[in-house]
Chains A and B, each alone.
Chain A
């Protein structure tokens, strides 16, 4: 199910502006990796290069390699569409399809992937909603609109939608930043459960969250305004938060800047 990601020498651009530079890292399967760092340092940009969502922005492009289980996602013969089917994504603001019911939202990815029997779809929808700890709350109103749920429920619906297509990797771009603490806790618990099946990468501004949920943490920073973002340090989360190797990392996590 989950696979290793190896990134080497990756740069990403918005037009002429270089947003991130020379990023290399290895992300282990069945682990949670957190990206932290000040705003604008390229965490989200880097996350979006991992499933080729960066390039949907006009003028944006990527140089370098991203290997998923040894295969380069940026090889010439690789379709971005098939990459995105293997690497799911959850966004900062919950974005269920407003015109679809809860059921249809979860099934949306399946509809794209081909034909399934009704019973099969029913099973996958139920499993995915159970997998995102939402089933008990919505099982009696699967045909109600997804947009009618609370923010936290909507975000878990989006997670269910992402895992319904059984990706290898799950990217989460500040998934809790629009949620209250209770909903945040629900998502964090969920991540701990999903870890056994998926490789999870999360961008977060909340350092306690990174410390609570992740196994490994990468600290991003940029040298100054207009400079590209870089990875300053990547290590086991426990080490980053207790004994970081770099002064900049220590300054950031202790709140001295950023």
Chain B
């Protein structure tokens, strides 16, 4: 990992020195022409789309995992588990194609609905509503990371010791109460880890979002308007025709993505570790 970091830094430095804008605040990306570029819009788009995807995917994934592990009849659970594992293995470009062909036209309607009726919330505001938006990209990402989060959560929920579930049952807990008192608390660190894995995948996702993002450079919370971009998508779109400075600039953006991912993972580990005493590892 250190070698990768060193590679990124060495390749990025010449471009950063040639930058006429400010790397952290400039809202354009023209390393090939005016040699002025900044990471802010890309980092913003990466984080927002990934976090939105996570917000949409985690509740559904946990629900699916609980259904498979605790509600579904055994045979159905087996089939569903297999399907989820298969979905987790679908290449991301397939999700991207599905997104551009099916979801972009499909999202037009719901987007307009949200804009009309919930437009007073800045998130859903804006004048031009389009299918190719931050929201659509997030939905694709959510669909993409859902299976992996569900698959890991299911494994974790199945690991809950029988005796903890029986303890709850013997107190007179219903099935849902067993899940609340014994299964979810026990599975919490695992679900957090699974979510972080999903978040990492969403942030690093390249091709699916490159197909959907309109590749604009701006920072806006209006997730229904036709704008948005991410670090990985920008690298994929720009690398082919980049000048040496342009390449360096893209590598610098890769370095930023690398650092963001590292920070997110560290934060997740800290959340898990903070409750270590109560993790059940001792029992």
Interface size class, chain A:
20 to 34
State in angstroms the CA–CA spacing of A93 and B161 once bound together: 12
Asked if A108 contacts B171 (CB within 8 A), the reply is: yes
Minimum CB–CB distance from B1 to chain A (whole Å) comes to 32
Asked if B171 contacts A147 (CB within 8 A), the reply is: no
State in angstroms the CA–CA spacing of A82 and B168 once bound together: 13
User: A73 interface residue, CB < 8 Å from B?
Assistant: no
Asked if B171 contacts A162 (CB within 8 A), the reply is: yes
State in angstroms the CA–CA spacing of A89 and B186 once bound together: 21
State in angstroms the CA–CA spacing of A144 and B182 once bound together: 18
Asked if B163 contacts A51 (CB within 8 A), the reply is: no
User: B105 interface residue, CB < 8 Å from A?
Assistant: no
Set of chain B residues within 8 Å of A85, measured between Cβ atoms = 171-172
Asked if B166 contacts A161 (CB within 8 A), the reply is: no
Set of chain B residues within 8 Å of A84, measured between Cβ atoms = 169-173
Set of chain A residues within 8 Å of B280, measured between Cβ atoms = 98-99, 147
Minimum CB–CB distance from B279 to chain A (whole Å) comes to 7
State in angstroms the CA–CA spacing of A112 and B182 once bound together: 12
User: B269 interface residue, CB < 8 Å from A?
Assistant: no
Asked if A112 contacts B163 (CB within 8 A), the reply is: no
Q: Which residue of A lies closest to B174 (CB)?
A: A81
User: A101 interface residue, CB < 8 Å from B?
Assistant: yes
Set of chain A residues within 8 Å of B281, measured between Cβ atoms = 98
Minimum CB–CB distance from A225 to chain B (whole Å) comes to 26
User: B237 interface residue, CB < 8 Å from A?
Assistant: no
Set of chain A residues within 8 Å of B181, measured between Cβ atoms = 97, 108, 111-112
Set of chain A residues within 8 Å of B173, measured between Cβ atoms = 81, 84, 112
Set of chain A residues within 8 Å of B283, measured between Cβ atoms = 95-96, 98, 147
Asked if B171 contacts A161 (CB within 8 A), the reply is: yes
Set of chain B residues within 8 Å of A111, measured between Cβ atoms = 181
User: B70 interface residue, CB < 8 Å from A?
Assistant: no
Cβ 8 A contact of A98, one of B164, B166, B170: B164
Asked if B172 contacts A98 (CB within 8 A), the reply is: no
CB contacts under 8 Å to A, within B52-82, are: 74
User: B185 interface residue, CB < 8 Å from A?
Assistant: yes
Asked if A165 contacts B171 (CB within 8 A), the reply is: yes
User: A88 interface residue, CB < 8 Å from B?
Assistant: yes
Asked if A99 contacts B171 (CB within 8 A), the reply is: no
Minimum CB–CB distance from B80 to chain A (whole Å) comes to 18
Set of chain A residues within 8 Å of B168, measured between Cβ atoms = 97, 108
Set of chain A residues within 8 Å of B279, measured between Cβ atoms = 98-99
Set of chain B residues within 8 Å of A76, measured between Cβ atoms = none
Cβ 8 A contact of B185, one of A82, A97, A113, A158: A97
User: B3 interface residue, CB < 8 Å from A?
Assistant: no
User: A56 interface residue, CB < 8 Å from B?
Assistant: yes
CB contacts under 8 Å to B, within A156-174, are: 158, 161-162, 165
Q: Which of B173, B277, B278, B280 has the most CB of A within 10 A?
A: B278
CB contacts under 8 Å to A, within B103-159, are: none
User: B167 interface residue, CB < 8 Å from A?
Assistant: yes
User: B2 interface residue, CB < 8 Å from A?
Assistant: no
Set of chain A residues within 8 Å of B171, measured between Cβ atoms = 84-85, 88, 108-109, 112, 161-162, 165
Asked if B167 contacts A97 (CB within 8 A), the reply is: yes
Which 9 A-B pairs have CB atoms at the shortest separation, nearest pair first?
A98-B280, A85-B172, A99-B185, A89-B170, A84-B172, A109-B171, A98-B283, A95-B163, A147-B283
7 extra A-B contacts, CB within 8 A, seeds A97-B168, A99-B186, A112-B177: A81-B173, A84-B170, A84-B173, A100-B185, A108-B171, A113-B172, A165-B171
For this complex, 22 residue pairs linking A to B, each with C-beta atoms less than 8 Å apart, are A85-B172, A88-B171, A91-B163, A91-B167, A91-B170, A95-B161, A95-B166, A96-B167, A96-B283, A97-B167, A98-B164, A98-B186, A98-B280, A108-B181, A109-B172, A112-B172, A144-B277, A145-B282, A147-B283, A148-B282, A158-B167, A162-B170
